Structure 1
């Protein structure tokens, strides 16, 4: 399905009374996320995101415990900055969301990993010393994929 068809579908769905509240909530949360990213230090902002907002209570999802601890220290100033930006936030909850960056998409480009020459030699010696088995087949396949079989 093309993006244009999806946009048309979502635009039509937005007009239905049953879904207007949901779309309004999503828009508000997206707007808050933009404001949140602006007030956050860059090194922390890329490791957390808003998880939800309901009745004045905001949830921030952190990638790991260290980021969550730093956010907890910043809670009073974060609360004041969000209130100053015009959001009716009365409480902030910090949650650690394991593998949240994998869901959002990480900032690291995918690159093909290569095994160094010493590793290739070691794997060749290991494969040569094994009898025919699934492990030997897997090692030979790995070595072929590396394209550097010695």
Structure 2
């Protein structure tokens, strides 16, 4: 059985009518992230990401309070620059979203989880159900492998 990249499966999902709206939203958000990287000062753009865009309201997630404060100072110019690029942004909200990679303690290190992560019981039940419904495929093999690792 040939292994395929995740992009193959995402491409197949994006053509399904049930998922087209979601993938359209993700494409728009990705394009807006690229625009943000172009219009924001590089030292700020590298330390924050777009959190969402709904009804003209854009959310920016800064890695820390200092970055958030600097972003708030340039919000009027960011609004104008987004509009100049064709996006109907009416408001920008800045939130602080800590960079999970830099968190130490609480089971996380700079290199990722300190220990093996466990899936909750509800998640395991859902995965078992998914594996039972899937036809023989690389995805089914991957789900079964994940379930096996949870039991080890």
* Contact 1:47/1:101 (<8 A) preserved: no
Q: Deviations over 1:53-105 (max 9, x none)?
A: 011000000010000000001010000000001101001000000125659xx
Q: Where do residues 85-124 of structure 1 align in structure 2 (5 Å cutoff)?
A: 85-100=85-100, 102=102
Looking at structure 2, the residues matched to 86 and 100 of structure 1 have their Cα atoms a distance apart, in angstroms, of 32
Between Structure 1 and Structure 2, the one with more helix by share is: 1
Q: Which runs of 5+ in 2 are unaligned?
A: 104-110, 112-152
Looking at structure 2, the residues matched to 78 and 57 of structure 1 have their Cα atoms a distance apart, in angstroms, of 13
TM-score (normalised: structure 2): 0.63
Q: Which runs of 5+ in 1 are unaligned?
A: 104-109, 111-150
Query: Which residue of 1 is the match for residue 23 of structure 2?
Result: 23
Report how many aligned residue pairs link the two structures: 104
Query: Which residue of 2 is the match for residue 78 of structure 1?
Result: 78
Q: How large is the RMSD of aligned CA atoms in angstroms?
A: 2.2
TM-score (normalised: structure 1): 0.64
Structure of greater Rg:
1
